[in-house]
Chains A and B, each alone.
Chain A
Amino acid sequence: MSEFDSLLQGMNLILTPGHIGLMVIGVLLGILVGVLPGLGAPNGVALLLPLTFTMSPVSAIILLSCMYWGALFGGSITSILFNIPGEPSSVATTFDGYPMAREGRAAEALTAAFSSALIGALAGVLLLTFLSTRIAEFAMSFSSPEFFAVYLLAFCTFIGMSKNPPLKTVVAMMIGFAMAAVGMDTVSGNLRLTFDQPTLMTGISFEVAVIGLFGIGEILCTVEEGLVFRGEHARITPMVILRTWAKLPRYWWTIVRSTLVGCWMGITPGGPTAASFMSYSLARRFSKNRENFGKGELEGVIAPETADHAAGTSALLPMLTLGIPGSATAAVMLGGLMIWGLHPGPTLFVEQHDFVWGLIASMYLGNVVSLIVVLATVPLFASILRIPFSIIAPIIIMVCAIGAYSVHNSFFDVVLMLGFGALGYLFKKLGYPIAPLVLAAVLGDKAEDAFRQSMLFSDGHLGIFWSNPLVGGLTTAALLMLFWPLISKALQTLTGLRKPQLAKPKSVL
């Protein structure tokens, strides 16, 4: 069956009033978590997960993925109007978005941000539509060593490409793996690392970690910085929208380049945050209006937003086809898939045809719905941010506590959330990344299974990871990625091509 037929089938499945209603709800909730400090897309999806257990998987994934799109859009509202990135991935949007709002061009900046975001997202979905079946078919021939090598590649890329110190990334990742190991061993059924504590028998859920690290940790950081929301006002009129749209074609090359950057960073585990920064600095380097960047240049809003959303959507490609999420939010969704009883990976495309294509079709529709909803509700959400912190903060904390509690109906999880909150605060202050921890916590068991299976095949010889060209190539690529910081430094000194301004781009912050 061709992709087009499958897509039509998926469209047929999701075009019901119920599903479209879910989309709108998901988008609204997403914008809300994107706008509120302390709640972000990974967090929001984790909080919503327990509520989806009674839904059908298709409805559940529509709700969660639309929440993701909504959060991506919502993040740009706070960036532009308040100079406060609601999401890490929208930090780059503040550089030019907020100056534009200060000049009274908030509506233009918002429209440009949302529209270019939609273009980026649609490009990501197109990629997903036409590549996913092929990658899934290719991955069907994978066995355990190949899967482990792919996991290894994902984790090593994180370490090598991260802006954070590599050793700190390793520490964060290993804590995630250790968390995943707590509880029942999937192979032998033994209880591991529980130290005879009954509360640990069910393991440590990644949802609790996400809620604590992202939610409570974020709140603590916000309090320390003593944030006050003092934002610009914006009213988006149809005239402004049309005028901004008329300007967009001028920036076609920026949009294309940002889309490519975004798709690439989304598929590889670089994630939306890295994509938006990279796209912004590329746009600045190649722009004719370089001097105007940082002072309110439209191009400086378009570039990061396009890349952000392209990365956000294409992060679902490796998640669906290989079972490897390209971002923290995708990792949480992957965890949700496993809880619903689906097995992310190539077999998903055969066994859960309706689910996969329902999801892909909903991504087209969901993003368009997002654009409409977000354009209509900007003033509403901007006014939410003007509610005093002493009202918003305790409510957010309550929602986090209830979310952590409802994972297993256990108060111990709420205590764990608090512990993760304190850890998240320290991590953020000391430059430890959080995303690898979440990724490892979600994928830990699967990576371990793949590793143990491979070891069984080979009787304990690591040589199995170089036993055929495919797995050997993947493993070698993983090691290259791991040592990339060292390799690139060595290459630079060898060739003597050390241009200071290229080797170290001026801090974009």
Chain B
Amino acid sequence: MSQSSDSPALVGTRWVELGLTLFTTLIGVVVMYGSVEQGIGWGDSGPEPGYFPFYIGLLLSAASVGNGVLTLVRWKALSISFVSRSAFRQVLSVFIPIALFVAAMPFTGIYVASACFIAWFMWRDNTRVKPYGKLMIASISLGAVLASYLIFALWFKVPLDAGPLGDWIALAGRHFK
């Protein structure tokens, strides 16, 4: 299943390195900006709220710039592929469903989103000789959701947002009483 060597490179490591240093530098700048808003000097009661975070932001940006410089120094050596096209497709094929799962959660509630997510994941698994049967998919996805309801909501009293489905069930429960 490892296909990192036989497919063309998507992007050089150096670009990813550089992109990440740019990102962390920006975080540092945002932190410094936010700290300056709060005051980074010496107030009536000692250091102002932004005093400490400002230096954190400064160090973050400085270290990021340093990393950027190091990347440029090793520019040639870092031309190796960061990830191959097919391996990255593999990563995206997991990451995008997670993103959709997370995005759907507030609208459908945790339980429905989770069940669909697990079912979809099992259904599109084409590495197997024989795909999962419908019954198998349904029982595992619903079973996992039921288990999480029992463990979190019922036994440990950590309420999970059930979304509209929860409302309907609650409504139906009231209706039948």
A220 interface residue (CB < 8 Å to B):
yes
Instruction: Tell me if B's interface is mostly helix, strand, loop or mixed.
Output: helix
B95 interface residue (CB < 8 Å to A):
yes
Q: Mark B127-141, 1 if CB is under 8 A from A, else 0.
A: 110000000000010
Residues A226 and B148 in contact, CB atoms below 8 Å apart: no
Residues B125 and A388 in contact, CB atoms below 8 Å apart: yes
A170 interface residue (CB < 8 Å to B):
yes
- Chain B, range 1-59, C-beta contacts under 8 Å to A: 1-4, 13, 16-17, 20-21, 24, 27-28, 30-31, 34-35, 38, 42, 45-53, 56-57, 59
Residues B91 and A223 in contact, CB atoms below 8 Å apart: yes
The complex places the Cα of A175 from the Cα of B31 at a distance, in Å, of: 10
| A395, closest chain B residue (CB) | B144
In the complex, which residues of chain B have a beta carbon less than 8 angstroms from the beta carbon of A411?
102, 105-106, 161
Residues B117 and A178 in contact, CB atoms below 8 Å apart: no
Known: A171-B60, A192-B53, A409-B161. A452 touches B140 (CB 8 A): no
Known: A178-B57, A394-B117, A398-B114. A171 touches B63 (CB 8 A): yes
Residues B46 and A406 in contact, CB atoms below 8 Å apart: no
Partner among B47, B64, B94, B114 whose Cβ is within 8 Å of the Cβ of A171:
B64
A-side interface residues, number (CB < 8 Å):
61
A181 interface residue (CB < 8 Å to B):
yes
The complex places the Cα of A426 from the Cα of B18 at a distance, in Å, of: 12
Known: A174-B59, A220-B91. A429 touches B148 (CB 8 A): no
Partner among A165, A223, A406, A418 whose Cβ is within 8 Å of the Cβ of B90:
A223
A232 interface residue (CB < 8 Å to B):
no
The complex places the Cα of A220 from the Cα of B161 at a distance, in Å, of: 26
Partner among B47, B56, B148 whose Cβ is within 8 Å of the Cβ of A399:
B148
Partner among A224, A418, A455 whose Cβ is within 8 Å of the Cβ of B46:
A455
Q: Mark A454-466, 1 if CB is under 8 A from B, else 0.
A: 0110001000000
Most chain B CB inside 10 Å of its own CB: which residue of A50, A167, A421, A448: A167
In the complex, which residues of chain B have a beta carbon less than 8 angstroms from the beta carbon of A171?
21, 24, 60, 63-64, 67
The complex places the Cα of A51 from the Cα of B70 at a distance, in Å, of: 44
The complex places the Cα of A451 from the Cα of B125 at a distance, in Å, of: 53
In the complex, which residues of chain A have a beta carbon less than 8 angstroms from the beta carbon of B145?
398
The complex places the Cα of A127 from the Cα of B1 at a distance, in Å, of: 46
In the complex, which residues of chain B have a beta carbon less than 8 angstroms from the beta carbon of A223?
90-91, 93-94
B142 interface residue (CB < 8 Å to A):
no
B171 interface residue (CB < 8 Å to A):
no
| B114, closest chain A residue (CB) | A398
The complex places the Cα of A500 from the Cα of B47 at a distance, in Å, of: 50
In the complex, which residues of chain B have a beta carbon less than 8 angstroms from the beta carbon of A432?
20
- Chain A, range 393-436, C-beta contacts under 8 Å to B: 393-395, 397-399, 401-402, 405-406, 409, 411, 414-415, 417-418, 421-422, 425-426, 429-430, 432
Stretch at the interface among A183-191, A348-356, A484-492: A183-191
Partner among A165, A177, A405, A417 whose Cβ is within 8 Å of the Cβ of B161:
A405
Residues B110 and A402 in contact, CB atoms below 8 Å apart: yes
In the complex, which residues of chain B have a beta carbon less than 8 angstroms from the beta carbon of A185?
38, 49
In the complex, which residues of chain B have a beta carbon less than 8 angstroms from the beta carbon of A181?
31, 52-53, 56
The complex places the Cα of A167 from the Cα of B73 at a distance, in Å, of: 14
The complex places the Cα of A167 from the Cα of B87 at a distance, in Å, of: 28
Q: Mark B141-165, 1 if CB is under 8 A from A, else 0.
A: 0001100100010001111110000
B118 interface residue (CB < 8 Å to A):
yes
Residues B49 and A175 in contact, CB atoms below 8 Å apart: no
Query: What are 6 A-B contacts with C-beta separation under 8 Å?
Result: A393-B94, A394-B122, A401-B101, A405-B110, A418-B99, A451-B52
Which 10 pairs across A and B sit closest by C-beta, in order of nearness? A390-B125, A174-B60, A226-B1, A394-B121, A193-B34, A170-B63, A181-B53, A394-B118, A51-B156, A185-B49
On A, residues with C-beta under 8 Å from B are 50-51, 54, 165, 167-168, 170-171, 174-175, 177-178, 181, 185, 187-188, 190, 192-193, 195, 216, 219-220, 223-228, 388, 390-391, 393-395, 397-399, 401-402, 405-406, 409, 411, 414-415, 417-418, 421-422, 425-426, 429-430, 432, 448, 451-452, 455-456, 460
